[in-house]
Amino acid sequence: MLPTSAADRHRAVAGRFAELAAAVPDGGWDAPAPVEGWVARDVVRHLVTWLPALVAGGSEVRLPEGPSVDADPAEAWRVHAANVQAVLDDPVASAAPFSNPHIGELQLGEAIDRFYVTDVFLHSWDLATATGQPALLDPETCTELLTGMEPIDEMLRASGQYGPRVEVADDADPESKLMAFIGRDPALATRAR
């Protein structure tokens, strides 16, 4: 199970993503990702782009810009993750007010934890699968996320963020069940290894 504090949870999830990024084989950054139209480097691009805009749009905190994803995706991720970690490790920045018309009002650290860390967790599977690595997602976290998402299935599909659910066997492992729920084909991970 992942740690319970937002800072420690990000450290664990971003750390695993960094391990995957560091192990991308030569030429692997241009490999197709499970997200239609994306290659592996686009997974990193997505994660390092949307959060700074969200943070800046809803708080006084600013995340510094890092290296180019095109030049060095692994380094771009490392710098970005360190910048996010610095916010979560800082009690003042983490407790800063955050407001967004779609999310509501909450502390910045809670917003990052609730929306961004989960996104990194899910996209770790995409990067791993694109680059032929095992994702090794925490099974308890997979089950917890799936349990929380299933009741809002219709809303999630309507958001356009998730594809159609993929059917898997009842005895599939938690990672496969979660990925299938968000519209990923778990068989891709098997073929990638």
Assign 162 a pLDDT band (cuts: 50, 70, 90): confident
CA distance 172 to 34: 19
Report pLDDT digits (tens) over 62-117: 999 999 999 999 999 999 999 999 999 999 999 999 999 988 999 999 999 999 99
Q: Cα dihedral angle (139, 142, 144, 149), rounded to 10 degrees?
A: -160
Which residue segments constitute the domains of the chain, with CATH numbers given? 1-135 (1.20.120), 137-193 (no CATH)
pTM of the predicted structure, to 2 decimals:
0.93
Q: Cα dihedral angle (173, 176, 178, 184), rounded to 10 degrees?
A: -170
Percent of the chain exceeding pLDDT 90 equals 86
**Does the pLDDT value for residue 132 go beyond 70?**
yes
pLDDT given for residue 136 in this prediction: 94
pLDDT given for residue 191 in this prediction: 55
